[in-house]
Structure 1
């Protein structure tokens, strides 16, 4: 099944970085701030266009747009706007660093970012992370995680996954048999085998392996993982399986659980909506509605408020 990603934010045309820079300055100059103008500009431009606006703002006005925005905005609304002003790979690096900073580790965020990336995307993140923090991502991650979970993430971060689209039907059958032998067919689990297969194969190849596993055993690979694993390793394996089958469904589920229950996980809500807006947020919206029988727009509206709500719904492309 070919994945057809639909973004909700695309480059606007015609585009005038100078006019946008002047309009943003006017929105923040003097008494009060025109938040609606800021949303109308920054939530409807691509990230590349926002970087052009930032450069023009400094050239024409001699001011730092991001610093001006920080001084005028606050709360979750500020978080959304500053996220939008950050180049995509740098933004993910900041999120990874935050997930590993201080006491404890946000393993869910590590899984969400690292287990969903192709090898090419992973190489970009690794290079940007070391350039920004002067420390290899793998090194910091190893100090913050442990066991087979650490080994799986290390394999992913070091870029062992085959190139996009690489497939071999005969090898898929062989690996399906290896997974069965390493899990359901024995007492205990050989996590090394699961880690190797899940981290080395392209997503297209993994799709074949999972199909072969179902044909061979009569059960899905998800069922096998649930029987054989728990904790962070289980979550990472399931994330890989879900992204192989449908990245949009994976992120739709993440958004649902960020909104569900008492309180909203705003960090996850912002990260996914901002980082996927130019990739497949339109597809994620469709999957959310299919799975949960309500629109993502209505879910966000019911759990957020004010300018924060208006910024998120603008990125969703409206109702």
Structure 2
């Protein structure tokens, strides 16, 4: 299936630095979600193996207070800190707490998500099988995601095609009529409108839109009319096409999509552009970053939702010995664990690592890696911990400072609009003390601003 008229002229611009040096999210030092520090260590000197009382609201494994002496798994009755033998399962266990300073990932508000369409179950968080993404996370957010765009009820593709035809016919263009249609239809419905337009008028809707629009609003509307898989494949192709490579686009897509999405993107890349994505990656990248992206292209991440805490402990020990625990870094070990383990499993590994290394895993990656491979590994972990927060951060830095990275802004708004843009908006507000709509309104203008705000639900 061909997509005439793509891409819009100019393609994607080069990305500005993201995030600027020194503004990367950092996670708190170990101790904030491990055992609390106690003068003299565990147990207190002369304490005979008893444990101190814990704050009533900060219990082990999500309970109020610490268990009685000897109550930890494998705990001795006297003398010394008990060995870690694998965390018990339970709500809220195995994930870092929310709160100010935790990598910019605060705890989402406890509020409902009513208002349009059935909730969609994201890969990685089926009900009742894994801990909540963060302690105290509302069940609604822990178990479902929601887009700001839902399929329109009483949808009539022919009627919408007629509205678009009238908006573009004659002198001038009724941009508001176009916005009203495209911002309130699902991607599947837009494909039906495109087909109905050609049937009714014998014209290509995309070509007509390109002749009537320009600039960022043109790029945004054309992105909305691309099938979702094709848009990801198109974005990857243009990130590697021509001089230079937009590595952050490769990271944003390949390190965050599900197995099924990855496989569909790889197949689409081949069928639509006649190219092998692995060969293009090898030609445009190198070293450990190249190997990480090739791993991502396989779409073979473990999707077993049951967390194996013993394996998490073993992986954490393996990562420590491959990085902080030795001179030099065994990059292949990091690649293996982060590219193959399920996201719930990676959460448990992050928690176990903090106890072993007295440092959180993201900080260790900061110390052991640099450049694009560092950004790629961190993107995987950030998505495992809180995917909406990862995209909220990307949106913030696309608009922060002088100028706007419009292609990143457009791509994230479009690709997340039917998946989790509701949660992304909520995380954005908590992380930056301003709403996504407010920042969009201050950084954009005209029909481009109106369409973006319509998509985000303002």
TM-score norm. by structure 2 comes to: 0.68
Deviation (angstroms), 1:164? 5.3
Q: Counterpart in 1 of 2:413?
A: 273
Say whether residues 1:131 and 2:271 are aligned partners.
yes
Matches of 1:178 and 1:262 in 2, distance apart? 42
Q: Counterpart in 2 of 1:172?
A: 312
Whether contact under 8 Å (1:118, 1:164) holds in the other structure is: no
Matches of 1:4 and 1:142 in 2, distance apart? 36
Whether contact under 8 Å (2:389, 2:427) holds in the other structure is: yes
Deviation (angstroms), 1:208? 1.3
Taking the TM superposition and a 5 Å limit, the aligned residue runs for 1:212-227 are 212-227=352-367
Say whether residues 1:57 and 2:197 are aligned partners.
yes
Q: Counterpart in 1 of 2:102?
A: none
Whether contact under 8 Å (2:151, 2:186) holds in the other structure is: yes
Whether contact under 8 Å (1:175, 1:197) holds in the other structure is: yes
Q: Counterpart in 1 of 2:128?
A: none
Q: Counterpart in 2 of 1:305?
A: 445
Distance change >3 Å, CA 162–CA 105, structure 1 → 2: same
- Structure 2 counterpart SS, 1:273: helix
Say whether residues 1:230 and 2:382 are aligned partners.
no
Larger displacement relative to structure 2 (199-208 or 26-35): 199-208
Deviation (angstroms), 1:63? 1.2
Taking the TM superposition and a 5 Å limit, the aligned residue runs for 1:115-194 are 115-163=255-303, 165=305, 167-194=307-334
Deviation (angstroms), 1:86? 0.2
Whether contact under 8 Å (1:164, 1:203) holds in the other structure is: no
CA offsets 1:3-31 (integer angstroms, 9 cap, x no match) = 53220000010111111010110000011
Q: Note the residue ranges of structure 1 that are not aligned, 5 or more in a row.
A: none
Matches of 2:321 and 2:183 in 1, distance apart? 50
Q: Counterpart in 2 of 1:68?
A: 208
Say whether residues 1:317 and 2:457 are aligned partners.
yes
Say whether residues 1:108 and 2:263 are aligned partners.
no
Q: Counterpart in 2 of 1:84?
A: 224
Whether contact under 8 Å (1:166, 1:202) holds in the other structure is: no
Distance change >3 Å, CA 302–CA 54, structure 1 → 2: same
Matches of 2:186 and 2:391 in 1, distance apart? 21
Whether contact under 8 Å (1:122, 1:157) holds in the other structure is: yes
Matches of 1:3 and 1:104 in 2, distance apart? 40
CA offsets 1:173-220 (integer angstroms, 9 cap, x no match) = 111110000001001110010001010111111111111111222221
Query: Whose relative contact order is higher, 1 or 2, with alpha carbons under 8 Å and at least 6 apart?
Result: 1
Query: May I ask how many residue pairs the two structures share in their alignment?
Result: 318
The structure carrying a bigger helix percent of its residues is 1
- Structure 2 counterpart SS, 1:246: helix
Whether contact under 8 Å (2:147, 2:418) holds in the other structure is: yes
Q: Counterpart in 2 of 1:21?
A: 161
Q: Note the residue ranges of structure 2 that are not aligned, 5 or more in a row.
A: 1-131, 133-141
CA offsets 1:81-116 (integer angstroms, 9 cap, x no match) = 000000000001110001001111111111011111
Whether contact under 8 Å (2:229, 2:268) holds in the other structure is: yes
Distance change >3 Å, CA 314–CA 218, structure 1 → 2: same
Say whether residues 1:240 and 2:380 are aligned partners.
yes
Q: Which of 414, 419, 430 is matched with 1:290 structurally?
A: 430
Question: For the pair shown, which has the larger CA radius of gyration, 1 or 2?
Answer: 2
Q: Counterpart in 1 of 2:49?
A: none
Distance change >3 Å, CA 85–CA 180, structure 1 → 2: same
Q: Please report the RMSD computed on the Cα atoms of aligned residues, expressed in angstroms.
A: 1.0
Whether contact under 8 Å (1:6, 1:282) holds in the other structure is: yes
- Structure 2 counterpart SS, 1:51: helix
CA offsets 1:224-257 (integer angstroms, 9 cap, x no match) = 1011111001100111111001111000000000
Matches of 1:118 and 1:62 in 2, distance apart? 37
